[in-house]
Amino acid sequence: MNRVHIKTYGCQMNERDSEAVAAMLRARGYRIVANETECDILLLNTCAVRDAAEQKAIGKAGYALARKRRRPDFVVGILGCMAQNRGTALLDQLPDVDLIVGTQKFHQVPDYLDNLRAARAAGVPVAETIVDLAEEAGSQNEIRDHLLPQDGADAPPQVSAFVSIQQGCNMDCAFCIVPKTRGDERSRPMEDIVREVEQLAARGVKEVTLLGQIVTSYGRRDYAHTGGVSPFVQLLEKVHAVDGIGRIRFTSPHPRGFKQDLVEAFGRLPKLCEHVHLPVQSGSDRILRAMNRPYTRERYLEIVQALRAVRPDMYFSTDVIVGFPGETEEDFVQTRELFEAVNYDMAYIFKYSIRTGTPAAGMPAQVPDEIKERRNQILLDRLHENSLRRNRSLVGRIEEVLIDGRDKTGRRFAGRTRGNRVAVFDAAEQLTGRLAPLRIDRATVSTLYGELVPAGAGGCDPKTGGQTSAFLSRAGL
């Protein structure tokens, strides 16, 4: 009775939290299973950013509890942001859930499950749900364990990994529930992060993505600026120096974190990929003020221009909210025009969703759903055009790809370019985890298709994995 399935909703931070919980459970002797129908314990790691995400998790929990009624020893736990946000109120809808654990208590999950299993093995009835939503000093340091595929049987190696460097948020954006669900801003020690990256590199990981609620705020209260270089850029420099790591990414930043030192880092740190997720939320200064976003449309465009001056081939993704309370048609036109001006390669476009407990929830002039839907679709159409145009511009070019392994069909291989575009191609199994040059011969809105460039043509031998010195040098390998 020790088979665990973890279903994750929401952001990359949630994915990383689930991975750490899985690693801690594996260390206790639990089996992590990919199929939820085979599990004895179902853990739902939830999201509270939008109501739709919460409703999906509640629906899944309700379905799981129906299974529990047929099999009383089945364990259902709710973890993460929705658990933190709703707390014991969840028991009104889900009275039979076994475990509700907040965002600062993930590391306690193995102990709670051990206790549940021990009580049931001893025939002791467990009458009450275990609920732990308390804050805990230093909890940000507990998300450090990794369960990589090679830790299990017959699985291909993992070549990329998330590394949590900072949790919590002090920004108080009017629409956002994250400060409530994740707490105040807290950073991990720099040496611990670097040690974690070194361990990942030793296990074959080639690419790391540094994670935080506001990742660019890393260490601002713990480390001094040195020579005009922020703690976050100092961390980037140290991670860049780790042997074996070929690529570095980070998410999610805040526009105010893009000072000159970070902009220049894209020009002097070759492992730092030329892809930036730069949330804008709105292109209207009036709406940005209402959102409590401390930048203007002009400042945002200055950041984009500065980054493109350093890296002309920079790829941009963003977050946009349409239908924020009080958003007029003129406000939306300004957002649309900024969206077109930046020419985003990828975007997460959200229809504003009321989050109880946030300032925006009580604002007047809530926008009707049909208007939100129309504005959402306009931006989605623009994004489709932008992405297809950018991908088609790569046809005939050679792009560096990190080979992740077989694609979803199992017949070909997949990887990502430095610009974070998915590519599909033929390769040999032993190339998994390699950085290789790929000549693009076809493109769709979401995927590039091409051929690995043979070593004799200045590229990679698809059979041996031999690579040119130019690609190896840029990756620092």
CB atoms within 10 A of CB 216: 22
Which CATH architecture fits 3-132? 3-Layer(aba) Sandwich (3.40)
Q: Which CATH class is domain 398-475?
A: mainly beta
**Per residue, what are the HEC states of the chain?**
CCEEEEEECCCHHHHHHHHHHHHHHHHCCCEECCCHHHCCEEEEEECCCCHHHHHHHHHHHHHHHHHHHHCCCCEEEEEEHHHHHHHHHHHHHCCCCCEEECCCCHHHHHHHHHHHHHHHHCCCCCCCCEEECCCCCCHHHHCCCCCCHHHCCCCCCCCEEEEECEECCCCCCCCCCHHHHHCCCEECCHHHHHHHHHHHHHCCCCEEEEECCCHHHCCCCCCCCECCECHHHHHHHHHHCCCCCCEEEEECCCHHHCCHHHHHHHHHCCCECCEEECCCECCCHHHHHHHCCCCCHHHHHHHHHHHHHHCCCCEEEEEEEECCCCCCHHHHHHHHHHHHHHCCCEEEEEECCCCCCCHHHHCCCCCCHHHHHHHHHHHHHHHHHHHHHHHHHCCCCEEEEEEEEECCCCCCEEEEECCCCEEEECCCHHHCCCEEEEEEEEECCCEEEEEECCHHHCCCCCCCCCCCHHHHHHHCC
- pTM value is 0.91
Could you tell me if 171 and 216 are in contact, meaning their C-beta atoms sit under 8 angstroms apart? no
Fold type of domain 148-273: Transcription Regulator spoIIAA (3.30.750)
Q: Which pLDDT score, from 0 to 100, does residue 122 have?
A: 79
Could you tell me if 239 and 279 are in contact, meaning their C-beta atoms sit under 8 angstroms apart? no
Q: How many residues does the structure list for the chain?
A: 477
Would you write out the chain's pLDDT as a tens digit for each of its 477 residues? Answer: 799 999 999 999 999 999 999 999 999 999 999 999 999 999 999 999 888 889 999 999 999 999 999 998 999 999 999 999 999 999 999 999 999 999 999 999 999 999 998 887 777 766 689 999 999 999 998 888 887 665 554 556 789 999 999 999 999 999 999 999 999 999 999 999 999 999 999 999 999 999 999 999 999 999 999 888 999 999 999 999 999 999 999 999 999 999 999 999 999 999 999 999 999 999 999 999 999 999 999 999 999 999 999 999 999 999 999 999 999 999 999 999 999 999 999 999 999 999 988 999 999 999 999 999 999 999 999 999 999 999 999 999 999 999 999 998 989 999 999 999 999 999 999 999 999 999 999 999 999 999 999 865 555 443 334 444 444 444 444
Q: How far apart are CA 148 and CA 23, in angstroms?
A: 8
Q: Which pLDDT score, from 0 to 100, does residue 234 have?
A: 98
Within 8 A by CB and 6+ apart from 12, the residues are: 162, 209, 211, 251
Cα distances (angstroms) measured from residue 205 to each of 150, 239, 240, 328: 11, 13, 14, 47
Each domain of the chain, given as residue ranges in start order, spans 3-132, 148-273, 398-475
